Chain A
Amino acid sequence: MGLSVPAAPTAVGGVRGFWRQFRRHRLGVAGLAAVVLLGLVAVFAPLLAPYDPFSTSRNAFAPPGSPGHILGTDHLGRDVLSGVIWGARVSLIVGLAAAFTATVIGIAIGAVSGYFGGWVDELLMRITELFQIIPRFVLALIVVAFFGSGLTNLILVIGILSWPQTARLVRSQFLRHRSLPYVDGARVVGMRAPRIIFSEILPNVMAPVIVVASLDIAQAILLEASLGFFGLGDPNLRSWGGMLNTAQGFVQRAWWMSVFPGIAISLAVLGFNLVGDGLNEATDPRLREGS
């Protein structure tokens, strides 16, 4: 072939280079440690938890440090540690699945909008703005109260309410990339739009999308916990938010019922946020040069 396609600009200098950059960001590494811990706890919950999370007993309100109950028991004699461990699973599933949903929707809308421009862009961006101005939490409360608060519903609701940021980001990246030489080249050799979008441009704009996705995970975990706190978590799962909800009535009598799930939520949210920051710095050359 006589035609040569110009090479796409590389955003990341290989996995090893990336890790070298990421490692410099100490807080990011701490966040990653928290996230990895959370992941391990979630995966190995059945092995780690000393009790079944739903197992009640006559030993109610045992304070932390009681024999067999390191973090104490709640008003029904359920082990708080086991609840926190199983809650990691719920939080992580909701966080990852909702962020994934949001990212997929965000990429689809952002890519179409940015690549084609014109009235398609106008329309999609107005819709995006509409979603951005809706108070997320209030809408989530209403939707979950109306359609029920099963795990799938929680994931879909949170995911569907969280995509605008990704969409705007992807759109702006596509606007920039669509007139770069490598995209022009792809068009010249006759590639169709879907292929250009997905196999040419998208891989080059994924780095910032992943950063936003990791922040989305943190937000989704927080939103799920907030819904749970208001009694709108999945009633058939033991979640951190749900634990906080039942703990409300016993704040003065049994502080451990609210403190430990509270710490777990903070750690998870902080962990994903720090990872996001670290990724951001490691992938964005402009931030890197500053440090």
Chain B
Amino acid sequence: MRSFVIVALIALFFAGMASAQAETPTPGGSAIVILGSDPEHLNAAISTGYPIGAVGANLYSALLYLDADGAPHGELAESWTVSDDDLVYTFTLRPANFHDGEPLTSADVVYSMEEVLAPNHGRFLNAYRAVESIEAPDDATVVITLSEPYAPLISLLTVFDAPILPRHVFEGSDPLTNPANQQPIGSGPFRFVEWVRGERVVLERFDDYFLENALLDRLIYRIVPQDVARGVALEVGEADLVWGFYMPTADLDRLDANPDVDVWRGLTIPSLYFVFVNTDTPALSDARVRQALMHAIDREQIVEQAQGGLGEVAAGPFGAGFGYAYDEATDYRTLYPYDPERARELLADAGVGDLSLDFVYDSARGAFAAAAEIMRDNLRQVGITLNVEPVERSVMVERVYGRQYDLSMQSFTSSGDPAIGYHRIYLTAEPGTNFVNATGYGNPEVDALLAEAAGLADQAARAEVYARALEILALDVPTLVMFDELSTQASAANLRGLLTRLDQRDGLEFAWFAQ
């Protein structure tokens, strides 16, 4: 009997050793994640802003999530079926609770989509045009019926584009001003603790989460507006995670050499950098002037110096990340090579001389500042004076989407499908809605073609329609497409379990600290 105990103990000992080597995830600890600016609020259903999504991804939940390869899996949805005609999607929900203890049912899903997301969410509202009805036949079933097939619907049901809000908190109020936007109640793996404006947002593990509970005790989003301070915060151990969106590329080489910091580079969700052109500005209403700007800007220099090489000069309005949304005939790299001479000719044709333009950008984005300086120099060569205006993010949003600017640098993520991320930039829109078309460009033909492309599940058919849209956009150039971005991330070397989802902001419930 005693020998049995000893053998058992030895076996346990070795089992312990083995698991220590394989590094079993251990719960506990607080991870500090850096945000470059304060979120405007914390309601992820009414904004596509980056910091809101960063907090919202771990605070809210959605029907589906996309894994690191972009494949959809059920989150709130235990399973789902699609009818043969691609029009009816039926989701079966898991039992789940909100952070205030109330159960999450199909009614919350219907309410969130119809009342909050559709009118307010930049990306969801485009998809909603294809939706005929969203119904809840019982508490655990949601049926979405489309009026026409809409291929990217599935990738739009994630926490970034369709987070589920508690109906009992929001119903009967204006979702834009509900107090829960400051003290959010979600159903995700982390619950809201506090938000100290300009300093931090704190979340803690929600122990009643409907899937496996998060490992970390707390997630602390620290707001660090100074971009050079972010890498330093990692180095001195005052932060654990900085996403590429906020990471000055110049710091990456230095962080590479630091054994306490892990640096990751790669292409996740294609993401494009643009310069929006306000077509309400008289001189910029002429397509020839916009073409001239394309020729005048040395995009290779911008990628090399402002982006630290972490990018590829973009092929067109939808980048090069989607084969079906790329057409060799309209490749901007051949259509619009850097050619100041050609730019001057086009400006002369348009009768434009001595132009002075306001260039507005988010002052927290270091790469934008460097790009602005290169553009200032580039445009000077063709007789255009750039008046650079770095402004605080909320001011930038107000000015750009209120169309009080001439040029503005922006980055947009595709969210896995051009129909989700990029169509909104070109579809005709009224000023005032954030993160949609801010250029004032409107072309019914483009609107129709993009709507058609979005409904085609067959990629070859979609490619044909896109080619026709690209042909128009390539000549109209409402946006100056700069480059496809390579994603990066820098994290504390002992922080594990990252990058489990397509969007690196998502899935922090799997993160844990190695001892």
Interface residues of chain A, those whose CB is within 8 Å of chain B, are 54-56, 58, 60, 75-78, 145, 231, 235-236, 246, 248-250, 252-253
Contacts and interface: CB of A to CB of B under 8 A. Distances in A.
A76 B374 contact: yes
Given A235-B388, A235-B389, A249-B228, A56 B254 contact: no
Contacts of A250: 250
B94 interface: no
16 contacts: A54-B377, A56-B373, A56-B374, A58-B304, A58-B305, A75-B305, A75-B370, A76-B306, A76-B374, A145-B392, A231-B363, A235-B389, A235-B390, A246-B369, A249-B227, A249-B248
A4 B109 CA distance: 97
B366 interface: yes
Contacts of B374: 56, 76
B228 A76 contact: no
A235 B363 CA distance: 11
Contacts of B370: 75-76, 246
A76 B305 contact: yes
A249 B254 CA distance: 10
Contacts of A235: 388-390
Contacts, number: 48
Contact of A76 (B227, B366, B373): B373
Contacts of B301: 56, 58
A249 B251 contact: yes
> Which one of A55, A58, A76, A248 has the highest number of Cβ atoms from chain B below 10 Å of its Cβ?
A76
Nearest to A149: B390
Say what secondary structure dominates the interface of chain A.
Answer: loop
Nearest to A251: B228
Nearest to B364: A231
Interface of B: 227-228, 248, 250-251, 253-254, 301, 304-306, 363, 366, 369-370, 373-374, 376-378, 380, 387-390, 392
Closest 6 CB pairs of A and B: A56-B377, A248-B228, A249-B250, A235-B388, A249-B228, A249-B248
A248 B254 CA distance: 13
Contact of A236 (B251, B377, B387): B387
A211 B335 CA distance: 63
A54 B250 contact: no
Contacts of B376: 54
A252 B256 CA distance: 14
A77 B363 CA distance: 22
B377 A249 contact: no
B259 to A, nearest CB: 16
> Which one of B363, B374, B377, B378 has the highest number of Cβ atoms from chain A below 10 Å of its Cβ?
B377
Contact of A253 (B250, B306, B380, B392): B250
Contacts of A58: 301, 304-305
Nearest to B300: A58
B377 A55 contact: yes
Contacts of B250: 75, 249-250, 253
Given A56-B373, A60-B305, A76-B374, A252 B254 contact: yes
Contacts of A54: 373, 376-377, 380
A56 B227 CA distance: 22
Nearest to B377: A56
Contacts of A248: 228
A231 B390 contact: yes
